[in-house]
Amino acid sequence: MDKDLVIIGGGPAGLAAAIAAKEAGVSDILILERDSRLGGILNQCIHNGFGLHTFKEELTGPEYAGRFIKKAMELEIPYKLETMVVDISSDGDLKLVSYMNRKEGLVVVRAKAVILCMGCRERSRGALNIPGYRPAGIYTAGTAQRYVNMEGRMPGKEVVILGSGDIGLIMARRMTFEGAKVKLVAELMPYSGGLKRNIAQCLNDFDIPMLLSHTVVDIKGKERVEAVVIAEVDSDSKPIPGTEEEIKCDTLLLSCGLIPENELSNALGVSMNRVTGGPSVNESLETSIKGVFACGNVLHVHDLVEYVSEEAAQAGRKAAGYLAGYGKDSRADNPDEVVTLKATDGVRYTVPSSIRLSRMDDRQVVRFRVGAVYKKVAIQVLAGDKEIMNIKKQALAPGEMEQVILQKSVIKDIPDLKEITIRVNTDN
Amino acid sequence: MIDVVIIGAGVTGCAIARELSRYRLDVLVLERASDICEGTSKANSGIVHAGYDAKPGTLKAKLNVKGNLLMEELSKKLDFPFKRNGSMVLSFEDEGKEKLQLLYEQGIQNGVKDLKILPGDEARKIEPSISEEVVWALFAPTGGIVCPFNLTIALAENAFENGVEFKLGTNVKRIGKISGGYRIETDKGDFETRAVVNAAGVYAAVFHNMVSGDKLNIIPRKGEYCLFDKTVGNLTSHTLFQLPTKYGKGVLVTPTVHGNLLVGPTAVDIDDFEGVNTTAEGMADLLKRGALSVGTLPTRQIITSFAGLRAHEEGGDFVIGEAKDAPGFFDAAGIESPGLSCAPAIGEYLAEEIIKYIPSEKKTDFKETRKGIPCMALAAPEEKQRLIGENPLYANVVCRCELVTEGEIVDAIKRPLGATTLDGVKRRTRAGMGRCQAGFCSPKTVEILARELWKDIGEISKNDPGSEFLTGYLKE
pLDDT in tens, A203-240: 999 999 999 999 999 999 999 999 999 999 999 999 99
b/e A365-395 (16+ beta carbons within 10 angstroms → b)? bbbbbbeeebeebbbbbbbeeeebbeeebee
B303 contacts in A (CB within 8 Å)? 124, 126-127
pLDDT at B107 over 80: yes
| Residue B247 confidence (pLDDT) | 60
Q: How confident is the model at residue A328 (pLDDT cuts 50, 70, 90)?
A: confident
| Residue A57 confidence (pLDDT) | 94
Q: How confident is the model at residue B250 (pLDDT cuts 50, 70, 90)?
A: confident
Contact (CB, 8 A) for A424 and A376: no
Contact (CB, 8 A) for A215 and A243: no
pLDDT at A428 over 80: no
Nearest Cα to Cα of residue A77 among A36, A33, A142: A33
Query: Residue A34 class from Cβ within 10 Å (0-12 exposed, 13-18 middle, 19+ buried)?
Result: buried
Q: Average pLDDT of chain B? A: 96
Q: How confident is the model at residue B476 (pLDDT cuts 50, 70, 90)?
A: confident
pLDDT at B246 over 70: no
Residue B312 a catalytic site member: no
Classified as helix, coil or strand, B80 is coil
pLDDT at B230 over 90: yes
Contact (CB, 8 A) for B187 and B171: yes
Q: Report d(CA B402, CA B230) in Å as an integer.
A: 10
Q: How far is CA B442 from CA A9, A143, A222, in A?
A: 20, 8, 19
Q: Report d(CA A383, CA B371) in Å as an integer.
A: 65
**A223–B397 C-beta distance less than 8 A:** no
| Residue A141 confidence (pLDDT) | 97
Q: Report d(CA B323, CA B214) in Å as an integer.
A: 8
Transcribe B311-339 into DSSP letters. Answer: EEETTSS-EEEE-TTSTTEEEEE---TTH
pLDDT at A201 over 80: yes
**How distant is the Cα of A20 from the closest Cα of chain B, in angstroms?**
28
Q: How far is CA B314 from CA A337, B10, B336, in A?
A: 74, 21, 11
The model's pLDDT over A111-154, given as tens digits with 9 standing for 90+, comes to 999 999 999 999 999 999 999 999 999 999 999 999 999 999 99
- Mean pLDDT computed over B118-125: 97
**B475–A129 C-beta distance less than 8 A:** no
B85-144+219-312 fold: D-Amino Acid Oxidase; Chain A, domain 2 (3.30.9)
Half-sphere exposure of B135 (CA within 13 A, CB side): 12
pLDDT at A105 over 70: yes
| Residue B60 confidence (pLDDT) | 95
Transcribe A386-422 into DSSP letters. Answer: EEEEEEEEEEE-TTS-EEEEEEHHHHTTSTT--EEEE
pLDDT at A271 over 80: yes
Transcribe A136-199 into DSSP letters. Answer: B-EEEHHHHHHHHHHH-EES-SEEEEE---HHHHHHHHHHHHTT-EEEEEEESSSS-SS-HHHI
| Residue B95 confidence (pLDDT) | 92
CATH 3.30.420.40 fits B381-459, yes or no: no
pLDDT at B245 over 80: no
Element (H, E) at A258: strand A258-260
Q: Report d(CA B340, CA B44) in Å as an integer.
A: 8
The model's pLDDT over A403-419, given as tens digits with 9 standing for 90+, comes to 999 999 999 889 899 99
Q: Which residues pair with B306 in a beta bridge?
A: B225
- Cβ of residue B457 closer than 8 Å to a chain A Cβ: yes
Residue A108 or A331, more confident: A108
pTM above 0.90, yes or no: yes
Name the residue type at position B126. Answer: I
Q: Report d(CA B390, CA A370) in Å as an integer.
A: 52
**A155–B471 C-beta distance less than 8 A:** yes
| Residue A336 confidence (pLDDT) | 80
pLDDT at A29 over 90: yes
Candidates B35, B274, B397, B463, partner chain A, best to mutate (most A CBs within 10 A): B397
Given the DSSP bridges, would you call strands B27-30 and B165-167 parallel, antiparallel or unpaired?
Answer: parallel
Q: Report d(CA A177, CA A254) in Å as an integer.
A: 19
Nearest Cα to Cα of residue B396 among A81, A85, A100, A41: A100
pLDDT at B249 over 80: no
| Residue B248 confidence (pLDDT) | 63
* Angle formed at CA B312 by CA B84 and CA B97, multiple of 5 degrees: 55
- In the stretch 244-283 of chain B, residues with CB closer than 8 A to chain A read 274, 276-280, 282-283
**Tell me, what's the ipTM?**
0.94
Domain spans, chain B: 2-41+149-217+315-357, 85-144+219-312, 381-459
Furthest CA-CA distance within chain A: 67
- Mean pLDDT computed over B335-364: 97
Q: Report d(CA B200, CA A173) in Å as an integer.
A: 46
Furthest CA-CA distance within chain B: 69
Q: How confident is the model at residue A327 (pLDDT cuts 50, 70, 90)?
A: low
pLDDT at A334 over 90: no
Q: Which residues pair with A215 in a beta bridge?
A: A231
Q: How far is CA A262 from CA A297, B219, B437, in A?
A: 10, 45, 16
Shortest CA distance from B458: residue in chain A: A153
Same fold, B2-41+149-217+315-357 and B381-459: no
Q: How confident is the model at residue A326 (pLDDT cuts 50, 70, 90)?
A: confident
B2-41+149-217+315-357 fold: FAD/NAD(P)-binding domain (3.50.50)
B309 contacts in A (CB within 8 Å)? none
Counting residues of chain A whose pLDDT is more than 90, the rounded percentage is: 92
**A152–B474 C-beta distance less than 8 A:** yes
| Residue A106 confidence (pLDDT) | 95
**B303–A126 C-beta distance less than 8 A:** yes
- Mean pLDDT computed over A187-216: 95
Counting residues of chain B whose pLDDT is more than 90, the rounded percentage is: 98
pLDDT at B258 over 70: yes
